[in-house]
Amino acid sequence: MGTYKTIDHTADIAIEISGSSLEDLFHTAWQAWYETVLGGLKVHSKVRKNIKLRAATTEELLVSFLGEINYWLLVKKWIAAKIEQLEFSTGNGLLILETVVSGQSLNSDKHELQVEVKAVTFHQMEIKQLDNNFSTRLVFDV
C-alpha cells in the first residue's frame, strides 16, 4: 500500500500521495479521499459497482475516478467503501480504467461526513514516476 500525508494548503485540502505502481497510487488516492471525507468510519461492503472511465492523461483519469466516487457520495448517497479491482489498459489513444468498488448506501443516522469535498482538482497535480515509484499531489476543494 502506498502512503499519503496532508500538507498545508490555503482554504483547501492538499495531500501528497505515493505508490509502488499506478494501481497502488490510485488505491492510495482513494484511501486519502475516504479518510478525509469519512474519517475512520467503518462501512460495510454490501453492494458492488463497476466504474469504467477513459481519459487522455493519467492525471485526468485520477481526477475522474475520485470525482465519480465523490459524486456517488454527495448525489447518489452511496459510499464506496472498498476497492475490489483496479485495472488499466489503453484503447483508441486513451487510457482506460476499469474498477470494481463495493460499499453501501449513506445513512445519515450512522454515517457522518468529516468534510464535504466539492471537487477533486487539477491544481498542482502532476503524476510523476521515478524508477518504480509514482507520486502526485491532490487538492480537494472543500
User: Nearest-5° angle of CA 29, CA 94, CA 126?
Assistant: 40
86-99 residue pLDDT tens: 999 999 999 999 99
Q: What is the pLDDT of residue 9?
A: 61
**Which H or E run contains 50?**
strand 47-55
Q: What is the pLDDT of residue 11?
A: 64
User: Which residues sit opposite 61 in a β-bridge?
Assistant: none
Nearest one of 138, 68, 137, 62 to 103, comparing CA atoms: 68
Mean pLDDT, consecutive 10-residue stretches, the chain (142 aa), reads: 70 90 96 92 89 97 97 96 96 96 91 90 90 93 88
Q: What is the pLDDT of residue 26?
A: 97
Q: What is the pLDDT of residue 122?
A: 87
Helix/strand/coil (H, E, C) string of 22-34? HHHHHHHHHHHHH
Q: What is the pLDDT of residue 132?
A: 85
Neighbours of 103 (CB within 10 A): 21
Q: What is the pLDDT of residue 106?
A: 92
Is residue 104 within 8 Å of residue 78, measured between CB atoms? Answer: yes
Predicted TM-score of the model (pTM): 0.90
Residue with cell 475516504: 34
What CATH fold (topology level) applies to the domain 3-141?
Archease, Possible Chaperone; Chain: A; domain 1 (3.55.10)
